[in-house]
């Protein structure tokens, strides 16, 4: 990853909401992307007969007044395990420590805040994954100052997006715009709660499209799908998960990151385009995870140098360098050194654009891939496959109900598929509701620890772990990992 980009500061969220003005809205049923059949949402096309006009080049009030009611403030609470120097040197000797040589892991309560965008009248909200990641408690503050507890529906680290939900009705929401139609130089507004300043609106222009290398690629659990909108609208900590809107007041992106050496705005901000937001949020709500279709090709941007080296007849596009096993593109007839120039009629001048267009599709869907082969263009109908080389739709697994373990003095739940993928585990259980007076609580362990092994035996799920610990007496060796995945350690339970 570019060293300069490693200084990117992922920023927090923003919010505000009042009630929508007296707009009379007509709802047109959308395409198959719709996830709500009856509830008004961003997945339906809203047409106003109020007579109000979208903002001009110098007038932003229309977009600001339309957007701010649908942007909320998100506050989270979480518990993280931190290293602390032990006070009593005999604790390790008696097995109360983490066998770490004078230091022990202790829980520390932390709070954070961010923003979110309401996308349905019944309380579905899009935000960033990093806003709600590892949160024990999520609270949403609406524009009318109501504070509502929210549940995390599902998350997608690869796009840094998440969907949460509150129990409410008749909420104001934003409609999806068209990020493909955005032009460099076009005015946009960023709406959020930087530094906990409510309902803050900033203006800027689209500086670039299709930016990559924004999400940290050094994290093992993340395989980024990136095609960011770059703007110069001021975005600061607290803006993450907030709205980027056009002058019609339509959502065209979710503010996600800034480029900064100080953690504060330095002139560049980045938003996930709504073309990705729409697909990811629909999948998270429908299936619990994102359904990604793959061409099964290795690719690189075509440059003048690459075109010369490969003897290509085209100077722009995406070069096919090879194929994966069960490649859908190869099955359709693509060959090495083909240059992909369009997908479904949309130009693909870069890897990021190609990945974005394919990333909007699900396994089993067909895309028309246009390639330049030896100077001639050819169209191929490619049926996309998933990572396993088939066209199945795979639903995400929820953590399920918690099981109480009297021995541990805690409840345990199954890991979700997203948590397994993040931690690269095939099984394991997560601790919840740890009793401070129980065996684990006595040693400073709190909610959030992942147990992967009991007495060196890998545990698949909560039921197996509970069975292993039932009626146990004496010492039990437990191997676990924090949710941040940074440290494995052993706990000896007496």
Q: Which residues are catalytic?
A: 130, 160, 240
- Tell me which residue of 369, 141, 170, 153 sits closest to 282, measured CA to CA: 153
Backbone phi, psi, residue 219, to 5°: -80, 125
Provide φ and ψ at 240, rounded to 5°: -55, 135
d(CA 240, CA 223): 20
Q: Which two tokens stand for residue 110?
A: 């932390």
């Amino acid at each position: 990853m570019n060293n300069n980009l490693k200084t990117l500061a992922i920023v927090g969220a923003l919010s505000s909401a009042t009630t929508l003005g007296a707009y009379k809205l007509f709802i047109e049923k959308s395409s198959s992307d719709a996830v709500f059949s009856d509830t008004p949402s961003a997945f339906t096309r809203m047409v106003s007969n109020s007579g109000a006009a979208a903002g001009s080049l110098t007038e932003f009030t229309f977009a600001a007044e339309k957007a701010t009611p649908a942007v909320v403030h998100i506050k989270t609470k979480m518990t993280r395990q931190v290293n602390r120097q032990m006070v009593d040197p005999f604790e390790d000797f008696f097995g109360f420590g983490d066998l770490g040589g004078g230091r022990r892991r202790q829980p520390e309560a932390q709070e954070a805040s961010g923003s979110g965008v309401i996308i349905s009248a019944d309380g579905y909200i899009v935000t960033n994954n990093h806003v709600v990641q590892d949160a024990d408690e999520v609270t949403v503050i609406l524009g009318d100052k109501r504070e509502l507890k929210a549940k995390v529906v599902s998350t997608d680290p690869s796009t840094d997006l998440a969907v949460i939900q509150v129990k409410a009705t008749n909420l104001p929401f934003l409609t999806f715009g068209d990020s493909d139609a955005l032009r460099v130089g076009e005015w946009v507004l960023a709406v959020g709660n930087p530094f906990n300043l409510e309902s803050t609106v900033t203006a800027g222009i689209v500086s670039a499209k299709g930016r990559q290398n924004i999400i940290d690629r050094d994290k093992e659990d993340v395989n980024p799908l990136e095609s960011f909108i770059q703007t110069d609208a001021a975005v600061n900590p607290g803006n993450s998960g907030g709205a980027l809107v056009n002058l019609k007041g339509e959502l065209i992106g979710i503010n996600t990151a800034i480029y900064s050496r100080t953690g504060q705005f330095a002139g560049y901000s980045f938003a996930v385009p709504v073309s990705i937001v729409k697909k990811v949020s629909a999948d998270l709500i429908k299936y619990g995870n994102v359904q990604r279709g793959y061409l099964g090709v290795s690719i690189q941007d075509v440059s003048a140098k690459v075109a010369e080296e490969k003897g290509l007849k085209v100077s722009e596009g995406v070069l096919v360098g090879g194929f994966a096993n069960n490649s859908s593109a190869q099955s359709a007839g693509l060959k090495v050194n083909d240059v992909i120039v369009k997908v479904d009629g949309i130009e693909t001048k870069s890897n990021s654009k190609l990945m974005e267009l394919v990333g909007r599709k699900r396994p089993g869907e067909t895309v028309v891939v246009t390639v330049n082969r030896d100077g001639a263009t050819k169209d191929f109908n490619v049926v996309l496959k998933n990572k396993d080389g088939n066209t199945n739709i795979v639903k995400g697994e929820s953590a399920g109900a918690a099981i109480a373990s009297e021995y541990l003095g805690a409840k345990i739940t199954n890991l979700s598929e997203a948590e397994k993928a993040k931690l690269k585990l095939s099984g394991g259980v997560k601790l919840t509701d740890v009793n401070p007076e129980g065996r684990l609580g006595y040693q400073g362990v709190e909610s959030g620890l992942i147990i992967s092994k009991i007495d060196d035996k890998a545990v698949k799920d909560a039921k197996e772990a509970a069975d292993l610990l039932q009626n146990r007496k004496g010492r039990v060796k437990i191997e676990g990992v924090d949710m941040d995945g940074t440290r494995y350690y052993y706990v000896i339970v007496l």
